[in-house]
Structure formats: structure tokens, C-alpha cells
Amino acid sequence: MFTPQPIGLVRCSFNDATTIPKGLGAQHSQEGLLEILPDFALGLTDIEGYSHLIVLWTFDRAEGFDLLVTPPTDNRPHGLFTTRMPRRPNPIGLSIVELLGRDGNSLRVRGIDMLDATPILDLKPYLSNIPSEKLRRGWLAEAEARKG
Amino acid sequence: MFTPQPIGLVRCSFNDATTIPKGLGAQHSQEGLLEILPDFALGLTDIEGYSHLIVLWTFDRAEGFDLLVTPPTDNRPHGLFTTRMPRRPNPIGLSIVELLGRDGNSLRVRGIDMLDATPILDLKPYLSNIPSEKLRRGWLAEAEARKG
């Protein structure tokens, strides 16, 4: 196994997890910066052509995990791997952000749902969608329907 | 930083990276198994309701990285973080797979693009798409157009 290393840090106004929108219908429209370390900046070449990026990062303030959890989107317990909750065997978070602009090593993005100073592990281009008519969203769709 | 640990292994017929479809128009329709270790199986509760999963895994046979790379989808170099290539500062792979069925700790899926015995780090539900009219795919779209 590899040893994780940050390639950069998130800069945003979320200093406390309670301030990040969660639950059914949560909107992630927050803007912020992905500040990539100078050692890795060459890897950003041509990134301006992409509208959306996949960001992998660490839940660096989470410890341990439970395999059955009650997420903020429901009042019933579900398997951890059907949720995006922070406390995981490998505490890796995933966000899809919209790339608004680039200033050197710094990417301005919309869709931040991480805390300020979160270590970034990787960036990948967002390339394609699953056709919506083929997508089933399990208990989350049921929770939305119950909420009506 | 955390210490990565496998939560399971991929089981499939790809034993050699050269046999995995790559490049423009590559189809990932290969079926295989995500075998989750018994210690983590409770985390799969309710997963059958989801049609698609995000799988995070390790490029465990990749070493080192270059920040400018020429991917199989183009004949020009691009920044590593605009590609899905294996040799990365944190060698984490991401695949979207279709969940076909579950037998205990074993998930049968379509869309395998990993090698047999690849360690799995995490599973997350695939929940939503970026509207296609908002998606720009940078140099990849240009390479497709040139190939036209």
C-alpha cells in the first residue's frame, strides 16, 4: 500500500463541519480554492479546458468508523458504503466541483463541501454521466419520497 | 494522514494492464466481482438498491509518477491531473460500476477496468450527474474531434 501525501489544500470558509449543508436537498454552491503545491503544479497543464473535476481528499478530522450509520439524509440506519459519511475505513472524500478559473497553482471552484485546510489527494477529470434513466438511488430515493 | 487498508479485492479476468480497453471510445463492459472482506460486509447493508457505485481502489502495480503524460487517448502530452493514468502521487483509481447483484460479501458488477486482485479502498453510492450541457471535456473532446 502507498503512503498518502497531500498534493494541495482546500481553502474555503467552512471551518466547522456543522456549517456545511447536509441532508436532503442540500445545495453545494460554495466557492473556494484548491491550492495545489508548487511541486505538483505542472500536473495542472491544460486543466482549464475541463468544466468539472473530481477531487479526492482526506477526512482529516474524522477518526474510526461504524459500518451501520444513520446519515443526515434519513432517520434510519444504512450500510456505511451506501453513504458519503466521513468516518470510513479509508477516510477518503470525493467531491465533484465546477472549475471557475485558474490562477497559477490555485483553482477557483464551485461546489466545495470540505473544511478549510483539507488535504487534497488527487484531481481527475469528470468525463461522463450515467444515463439518468439507468440510475437508481436506493434508500436515498425512498427517504426523499417519504419526505415528499 | 491515514494508513490505507484494503476493504476487499477485485476479482476479474484482467491479469495484464495491456488487456484492459483504453483510448478513445474504449468500452468498459467487463463483468467481475468486488469481494468485500467479512470484517466490512455489514457496511454493504441496503446496497442492492443502488444501480451504480463509485469504487476507489489502488493502482498497486504502479510506481512513481510524471506530471506531464501522453495518455492513450491522445498523441500529445497533458497534465497528469487531466488524465486517469495510473502513476500518480497518490495512486488511487476511481471506477463507476453498475451493480448487477449481490451474493453475501461479493458484489457482481459491470464496468471493471481494474486488474484482478486490485485492493479496494472504498465504495460510495453514485447519486447524481452533472447536466451534460454544462460539461466540457477539454483536450479529450479535442482529441476525439481530431480523430473524428
Q: How far is B119 from chain A (nearest CA, A)?
A: 9
Q: What is the model's pLDDT at position B141?
A: 87
Beta strands in A46-118 (DSSP E): 52-58, 68-69, 78-79, 92-103, 106-110
pLDDT tens-place string over residues A87-132? 999 999 999 999 999 999 999 999 999 999 999 999 999 988 888 8
Q: What is the model's pLDDT at position B24?
A: 72
The residue-averaged pLDDT of A48-73 equals 95
* Reported confidence tier of residue A51, pLDDT bands at 50, 70, 90: very high
CB nearest to B40's CB, from A52, A67, A137: A67
B107: number of CA atoms within 13 Å, CB side? 33
Q: What is the model's pLDDT at position B60?
A: 96
Q: List beta partners, residue A109.
A: A32, A99
Phi, psi of B45 (to 5 degrees): -50, 130
Q: Which B residues 30-89 touch A at CB under 8 Å? A: 40, 42-54, 56, 58, 60, 67-68, 77-84, 88-89
Q: What is the model's pLDDT at position A106?
A: 98
Instruction: Give the range among A117-126, B80-89, B97-106, B135-144 with minimum mean pLDDT.
Output: B135-144
CA-based max dimension of chain B: 49
Q: What is the model's pLDDT at position A17?
A: 87
The residue-averaged pLDDT of B78-89 equals 96
CB nearest to A68's CB, from B45, B51, B122: B45
Does the beta-carbon distance from A90 to B119 stay under 8 Å?
no
Beta strands in chain B (DSSP E): 8-11, 31-36, 52-58, 68-69, 78-79, 92-103, 106-110, 119-125
B28: number of CA atoms within 13 Å, CB side? 20
* Reported confidence tier of residue B135, pLDDT bands at 50, 70, 90: confident
Phi, psi of B11 (to 5 degrees): -120, 120
Instruction: Please report the ipTM that was assigned to this predicted complex.
Output: 0.94
- Average pLDDT over all residues of chain A: 93
Q: Which three cell numbers stand for residue A22?
A: 447536509
* Reported confidence tier of residue B102, pLDDT bands at 50, 70, 90: very high
Does the beta-carbon distance from B81 to A43 stay under 8 Å?
yes
- Cβ-Cβ contacts under 8 Å for A143 (sequence gap 6 or more): A24, A73, A74, A76
Alpha carbon distance B115, B61 (integer Å):
9
Residue given cell 466541483 in the structure block: A97
- Cβ-Cβ contacts under 8 Å for A57 (sequence gap 6 or more): A10, A92, A93, A94, A95, A114, A118, A119, A120, A121
Q: Tell me: pLDDT of A61 over 80.
A: yes
- Average pLDDT over all residues of chain B: 93
Q: Tell me: pLDDT of A147 over 90.
A: no
Does the beta-carbon distance from B137 to A123 stay under 8 Å?
no
Decide if A118 contacts A88 (C-beta within 8 A).
Answer: no
Q: How far is A124 from chain B (nearest CA, A)?
A: 5
Which residue stretches of chain A are H helix?
Answer: 138-147
Phi, psi of B132 (to 5 degrees): -60, -30
* Reported confidence tier of residue A26, pLDDT bands at 50, 70, 90: confident
Report, in angstroms and rounded to the nearest whole number, the Rg of chain A calculated over CA atoms: 16
CB nearest to A130's CB, from B52, B58, B122: B52
pTM of the predicted model as reported, rounded to 2 decimal places: 0.94
Does the beta-carbon distance from B138 to A50 stay under 8 Å?
yes
Residues of B in contact with A87 (CB under 8 A): none
Q: Tell me: pLDDT of A73 over 90.
A: no
The residue-averaged pLDDT of B76-96 equals 96
Does the beta-carbon distance from B90 to A7 stay under 8 Å?
yes
Decide if B114 contacts B12 (C-beta within 8 A).
Answer: yes
Q: Is A100 on the interface with B (CB under 8 A)?
A: no
* Reported confidence tier of residue B50, pLDDT bands at 50, 70, 90: very high
CB nearest to B46's CB, from A2, A48, A79: A79
Q: What is the model's pLDDT at position A109?
A: 97
